[in-house]
């Protein structure tokens, strides 16, 4: 997510629950849709911001985008450009970074064309180049000569094409889409040995690796609305999609290789039945045929929505899903642990992880002349069968070994309460809090030799947020953001001078408070606005303070807020 340029994103939608069959087989707890910008009017925007991380490191970012529409607005194209440079950040003064150096350049375009009034074609193409370097903070020698370092060079291409035609008096639509992404990655993860034959082998054959990951997604979807269906309205959706993932990740020096091609054919049928103006039933089934699963898997999903008057909604969702026994992006992660390198392999006996999810919610939003107040109360329950887990299976000459295996089962359940209010579109408050439990059926041994635990690691049982926005006029705005992260269990491998034993610690809660103010000036001569803004993230510096030191540190021993106290200022020039 950090690699995606924010100026290419229109909005982010969070869809709770797994009630729709249109989403993928693993969309059970919900779906996060990152929706990119589509040209709407001719405009431009140029934004520069500077951040200072805890008085030590600099982070500079330049973002620009422009949109051009044809005179009759039946075609348009938008371009975006993003450049970011971030220095190392060392929190404990041991000359090893807690935040890596980043050099990122991204550019791309989105376009649309309306050949007729009822047809639309959308095209997008983008490229992301990023260099990351973390570990011993040296740049005057190759990564393999640093005492410990991680180096990553990414070249990512993304492209998509969508075609939609509406007909039958707008009651029927046909949508086709094609998407492609390729990630070429060169990487190094290593610790230089202290001497002897190991050092000689390291110098002669440093552990550089390459990744080539390609994803292809194509599909077709037919929607048809029946306006008189058992005294109601019903929109039927039938579709199919085909997804290919080709993963190749290799480090010859570590005898490490993931070479896997997965293919998944999904077919779905859904009914969106408006039984009455107050009651809607969304139901469907999705069938997936995966090349690593012996039999097709059927996943029914259903959602019932009841509207009471204009301001109260009751919703109930149920859905099933699965994750295939394949290598995911997180499985390519290599870390330092126990004075060596930790690697992940897939068990030859790995079978799909299955899930059932049930959720219910009450949503209330009541407007008055000047005030809108509302709340959401939600409960959720997800049952996992054959849940994926990382099991320690010992060591080799390079370090720790983990295998992705199936567990007996796990349960995630809890509730969320959110409150929101808006006064006259000038003051807005949103806040929410979640209580949950996440536990396996039987204790798991996260570190070889330590007693197992049932709780999920790095997963707090309570967390919350609050956002207060103040916009008295079109020129001035301010907002305050609060994030609470509760206690969590975190494994900690020995190896660093400050950590002599393996253990699982209970991390303290964190409370982050951030603030931003902005002022906008109009430049009528060029029909533009210039916005000057600034603020502070994590103003009370609520940040992890027990990082390991030295080259044999446990690089996975990281939890809590992503950055310490950070001040920032910026200027944005954009068309009106």
Q: pLDDT digits over 463-479, tens only?
A: 999 999 999 999 999 99
The predicted pLDDT at position 446 comes to: 87
The predicted pLDDT at position 5 comes to: 67
Spatial contact of 101 and 88, defined as CB atoms under 8 Å apart: yes
pLDDT higher than threshold 80 for residue 184 = yes
**What percent of the chain lies above the pLDDT cut of 70?**
97
Spatial contact of 362 and 377, defined as CB atoms under 8 Å apart: yes
Mean pLDDT of 67-95: 94
Spatial contact of 428 and 422, defined as CB atoms under 8 Å apart: yes
The predicted pLDDT at position 40 comes to: 79
What secondary structure, in 3-state letters, does 406-450 show?
A: ECCEEEEEEEEEEEEEEECCCEEEEEEEEEEEEEEEEEECCCCCC
What span, in angstroms and rounded, lies between the C-alpha atoms of 553 and 495? 6
539: left (phi over 0), alpha (psi -120 to 50) or beta: alpha
Q: Which of 142-146, 242-246, 471-475, 522-526 is the least confident region?
A: 522-526
Mean pLDDT of 94-100: 95
The predicted pLDDT at position 1 comes to: 65
Q: How would residue 2 be classed by pLDDT, with cut points 50, 70 and 90? A: low
What span, in angstroms and rounded, lies between the C-alpha atoms of 434 and 416? 4
User: What Rg value do the Cα atoms of the chain yield, rounded?
Assistant: 26
pLDDT, tens digit (0-9, with 9 covering 90-100), for 14-63? 776 666 667 776 666 667 777 777 777 899 999 999 999 999 999 999 99
Average pLDDT of the chain is 92
The predicted pLDDT at position 18 comes to: 62
Burial, 99: exposed, middle or buried (Cβ in 10 Å; 0-12, 13-18, 19+)?
Answer: buried
Mean pLDDT of 488-499: 92
Q: How would residue 202 be classed by pLDDT, with cut points 50, 70 and 90? A: very high
Helix (H, G, I), strand (E, B) or coil at 202: helix
The predicted pLDDT at position 16 comes to: 66
Higher pLDDT, 36 or 497: 497
Mean pLDDT of 185-203: 92
pLDDT higher than threshold 90 for residue 341 = no
The predicted pLDDT at position 232 comes to: 93
Spatial contact of 568 and 536, defined as CB atoms under 8 Å apart: yes
The predicted pLDDT at position 344 comes to: 87
pLDDT higher than threshold 70 for residue 462 = yes
Burial, 96: exposed, middle or buried (Cβ in 10 Å; 0-12, 13-18, 19+)?
Answer: buried
What span, in angstroms and rounded, lies between the C-alpha atoms of 406 and 320? 18
Characterize 446-461 residue by residue with b for buried, 16 or more Cβ atoms within 10 angstroms of its Cβ, and e for exposed.
Answer: bbbeeeebebbeeebb
pLDDT, tens digit (0-9, with 9 covering 90-100), for 271-315? 999 999 999 999 999 999 999 999 999 999 999 999 998 999 999
pLDDT higher than threshold 70 for residue 3 = no
Helix (H, G, I), strand (E, B) or coil at 207: coil
The predicted pLDDT at position 534 comes to: 98
pLDDT, tens digit (0-9, with 9 covering 90-100), for 361-370? 999 999 999 9
Maximum mean pLDDT: which of 191-195, 406-410, 513-517? 513-517
Q: β-strands 427-444, 9-16: how paired?
A: unpaired
Q: In the structure encoding, which two tokens stand for residue 58, read together? A: 């600099």
Mean pLDDT of 427-433: 97
Spatial contact of 454 and 406, defined as CB atoms under 8 Å apart: no
- Bridge partners (DSSP) listed for residue 36: 9
What span, in angstroms and rounded, lies between the C-alpha atoms of 508 and 233? 52
pLDDT, tens digit (0-9, with 9 covering 90-100), for 214-233? 999 999 999 999 999 988 99
What span, in angstroms and rounded, lies between the C-alpha atoms of 370 and 30? 33
The predicted pLDDT at position 328 comes to: 79
Which DSSP helix (H) or strand (E) runs through 80?
strand 75-86
Characterize 207-216 residue by residue with b for buried, 16 or more Cβ atoms within 10 angstroms of its Cβ, and e for exposed.
Answer: bbbebebbbe
Q: In the structure encoding, which two tokens stand for residue 261, read together? A: 């091609």
Mean pLDDT of 526-554: 95
**What percent of the chain lies above the pLDDT cut of 90?**
77
The predicted pLDDT at position 35 comes to: 79
Q: β-strands 340-346, 400-406: how paired?
A: parallel
DSSP secondary structure, 473-497, as one string:
SSSEEEEEEEEEE--EEEEE-S-ST
Helix (H, G, I), strand (E, B) or coil at 14: strand
- Bridge partners (DSSP) listed for residue 416: 378, 434
DSSP state of 199: H
pLDDT higher than threshold 90 for residue 396 = no
Spatial contact of 563 and 539, defined as CB atoms under 8 Å apart: no
DSSP secondary structure, 277-322, as one string:
TTEEEEEEEEEEEETTSSS-EEEEEEEEEEEETTTEEEEEEEEEEE
The strands making up 340-346's β-sheet, listed across from edge to edge, are 335-337, 340-346, 400-406, 388-395
pLDDT higher than threshold 90 for residue 133 = yes
The predicted pLDDT at position 191 comes to: 93
pLDDT higher than threshold 90 for residue 571 = yes
């Amino acid at each position: 997510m950090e690699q995606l340029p924010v100026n290419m994103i229109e909005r982010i939608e969070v869809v709770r629950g797994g009630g729709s069959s249109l989403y993928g087989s693993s969309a059970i707890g919900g779906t996060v849709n990152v929706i990119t910008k589509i040209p709407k009017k001719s405009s431009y925007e140029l934004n520069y911001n500077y951040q200072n991380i805890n008085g030590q490191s600099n982070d500079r970012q330049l973002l620009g985008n422009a949109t051009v529409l044809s005179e009759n607005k039946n075609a348009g194209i938008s371009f975006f450009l993003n450049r970011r440079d971030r220095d190392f950040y060392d929190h404990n003064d041991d000359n090893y970074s807690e935040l890596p150096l980043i050099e990122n350049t991204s550019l791309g375009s989105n376009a649309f064309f309306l050949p007729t009034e009822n047809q639309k074609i959308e095209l997008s193409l983008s490229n992301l180049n990023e260099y990351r370097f973390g570990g011993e903070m040296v740049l005057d020698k190759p990564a393999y000569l640093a005492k410990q370092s991680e180096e990553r060079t990414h070249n990512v291409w993304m492209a998509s094409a969508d075609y939609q035609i509406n007909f039958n008096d707008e009651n029927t639509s046909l949508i086709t889409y094609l998407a492609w992404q390729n990630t070429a990655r060169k990487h190094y993860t290593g610790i230089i040995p202290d001497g002897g034959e190991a050092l000689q082998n390291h110098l002669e054959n440093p552990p550089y690796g390459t990744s080539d990951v390609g994803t292809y997604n194509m599909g077709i979807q037919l929607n048809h609305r029946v306006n008189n269906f058992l005294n109601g309205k019903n929109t039927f959706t039938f579709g199919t999609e085909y997804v290919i993932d080709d993963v190749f990740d290799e480090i010859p020096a570590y005898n490490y290789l993931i070479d896997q091609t997965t293919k998944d054919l999904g077919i779905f049928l859904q009914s969106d039945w408006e039984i009455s103006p107050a009651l809607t039933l969304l139901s469907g089934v999705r069938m997936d045929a995966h090349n690593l699963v012996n039999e097709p898997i059927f996943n029914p999903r259903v959602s019932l929505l009841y509207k009471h008057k204009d301001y109260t909604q009751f919703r109930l969702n149920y859905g099933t899903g699965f994750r295939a026994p394949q290598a995911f992006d997180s499985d390519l992660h290599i870390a330092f642990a126990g004075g060596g390198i930790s690697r992940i392999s897939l068990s030859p006996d790995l079978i799909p992880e299955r899930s059932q999810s049930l959720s219910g919610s009450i949503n209330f939003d009541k407007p008055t002349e000047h005030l809108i107040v509302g709340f959401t109360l939600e409960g959720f329950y997800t049952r996992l069968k054959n849940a994926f887990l990382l099991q320690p299976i010992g060591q080799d000459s390079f370090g720790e070994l983990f295998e992705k295996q199936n567990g007996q089962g796990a349960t995630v359940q809890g509730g969320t309460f959110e409150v929101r209010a808006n006064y006259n579109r000038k003051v807005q408050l949103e806040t929410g809090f979640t209580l949950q439990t996440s536990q396996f059926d039987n204790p798991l041994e996260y570190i070889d030799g330590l007693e197992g635990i049932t709780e999920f690691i790095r997963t707090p049982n309570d967390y919350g947020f609050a956002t207060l926005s103040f916009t008295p006029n079109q020129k001035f705005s301010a907002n305050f953001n609060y994030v609470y992260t509760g206690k969590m269990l975190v494994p900690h491998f020995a190896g660093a001078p400050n950590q002599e034993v393996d253990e699982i610690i209970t991390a303290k809660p964190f409370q982050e408070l951030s603030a931003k103010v902005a002022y906008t000036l109009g430049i009528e001569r060029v029909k533009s606005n210039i916005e000057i803004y600034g603020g502070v993230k994590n103003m009370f510096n609520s940040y992890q303070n027990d990082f390991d030191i030295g080259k044999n540190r446990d690089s996975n021993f990281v939890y809590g807020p992503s950055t310490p106290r950070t001040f920032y200022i910026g200027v944005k020039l954009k068309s009106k």
